[in-house]
Amino acid sequence: MAITKVATNAQVLVDSTALGGITDASLDLGVTIGKEMTDGNVNAYFVSVNAVKPRATFSTLKIAAALDLLAYPVTSIAGLTAGLAMYGRAFVAGATRGGAIAHKKYLMDTGIVFPTRLTVDHQGEAKIEYSVIPVSSDGTTAPVVPSESASLPTADADDERFTLGEVTLGNVAFTHIKSLEINFGITEKVESADSDIYDTFAAIQESNPIITLRGIDYDWFKTSGAVAITGLAGTQANTSIVLRKRAASGTFVAAATAEHILFNAAGLITIGQAHRSSNNQTAEIDLRMECIHDGTNAPLVIDTTHAYGV
């Protein structure tokens, strides 16, 4: 039998706005089956669906666009007029991709979506990952509705790339950085009751961000002037991480142009592994910052229109 239905990723539609730069996407329906052996039988005689708990994820290189559409810490899908949709973009045998009404659409209209992790390596492209927790609006309406013969949203220009920029933690400028990770530390609270198959409640339970740097400057660990063995305090005023925007067909957007991304944070900075190497390889050092609410600001304050060096 000939293969006729093959798909890949496409944009994510947030309300009526397409988010492009998608690198990875997944949708797990989370079906739990009830199938219990009884009476000493070799075979089961009864099977049923006990629960359906969908979970979706996607990653994008359009960091600023994503954070503007789906801000930290959480976005309510019910607050989006048209919900959130993911797509399977159809391949066409003997050609490239399908045209209008050739694709698969997965619509979610209730639940939450939140960032989980941002990663970037030296000379690499920053990527942000999101989790989507769709739930039912009433216990009987399916949390995910598939549509066949769907059209893709209006194409979103794949026009954003970011990489490592300046990093200052606790008033100390860190250089020799090889990688940065921001784990947004978000855990969700999802509930159902009354023997409903679908969850009907989703919220954020906790947000405990952790920032991790990996580098090759062994002086990150010092008695004074960097991170002591007992750590270094960081505040919103003296802690900043910049993601530097790349210029299309060039190098970088000018520092004074308000198109870079700034993260401010408060918390405690500590060294993890002070020295790690093998044979004659360059030794690495890593640190982490456990972020906290400072009484006024959220653990992470994010500006997607940042200009620096001015």
pLDDT for residue 59: 98
Each residue of 39-49: pLDDT tens digit? 999 999 999 99
Give the dihedral sign, CA 257/258/259/264.
positive
**pTM of the predicted protein model:** 0.95
Residue type, 294: D
Mean pLDDT score across all residues of the chain? 95
Residue range(s) defining the domain that contains residue 93: 7-30+51-143+158-306
Pick from 101-105, 130-134, 165-169, 261-265: least confident: 101-105
Residue 96 domain-assigned (yes or no):
yes
Does residue 239 register a pLDDT over 70?
yes
User: What one-character-per-residue DSSP string does the chain give?
Assistant: ------EE--PEEETTEEE--EEEEEEE--EEEE----TT-SS----EEEEE--EEEEEES-HHHHHHHS-SS-EEGGGSTT-EEEEEEEB-TTSSB--TT-EEEEEE-SEEEEEEEEEEETTS--EEEEEEEE--SSSSS-S-EEEEEEPPPSPPP----EEEEEEEETTEEE-SEEEEEEE--EEEEEE--TT-SB--EEEEEEE--EEEEEES-GGGB-SSSSBBTTBEEE-TTT-EEEEEEBPTTSSB--TTSTTEEEEEE-EEEEES-S-B--TTSPPBEEEEEEE---SSS-SEEEEEEE----
pLDDT band at 295 (very low <50, low <70, confident <90, very high): very high
pLDDT > 90: what percent of the chain? 88
Find out whether 172 and 225 touch, Cβ atoms under 8 Å. Answer: yes
- What value, to the nearest 5°, has the Cα angle with vertex 117 and ends 116 and 122? 170
Total domains present in the chain: 1
pLDDT at position 78: 96
First CA to last CA across the chain, in angstroms?
Answer: 64
- Please indicate, yes or no, if residue 40 is contained in any of the structural domains: no
Is 153 a domain residue? Answer: no
Residue 1 maps to a domain: no
The reply to whether 282 falls in a domain is yes
pLDDT tens across 10-35, in order? Answer: 999 999 999 999 999 999 999 999 99
Report the Cα 51 to chain-centroid distance in Å: 26
Judge whether 152 lies within some domain: no
Q: What is the pLDDT at residue 310?
A: 64
The residue with tokens 């990723």 is 9
As given in the structure block, the two tokens for residue 42 are 């070799």
- Whole-number pLDDT of residue 236: 97
Q: What is the mean pLDDT of residues 142-157?
A: 91
Choose between 89 and 134: higher pLDDT: 134
Instruction: Give domain status of residue 264, yes or no.
Output: yes
Residue 94 included in any domain: yes
- Summarize pLDDT for 150-200 with one digit per residue, the tens: 999 988 889 999 999 999 999 999 999 999 999 999 999 999 999 999 999
The C-alpha atoms of residue 183 and residue 190 are separated, in whole angstroms, by 21
Residue 8 confidence (pLDDT) above 80: yes
Q: Using one digit for the tens of pLDDT, what is the confidence trace for 96-109?
A: 888 888 889 999 99
Res. 93 pLDDT band, cuts 50 70 90:
confident
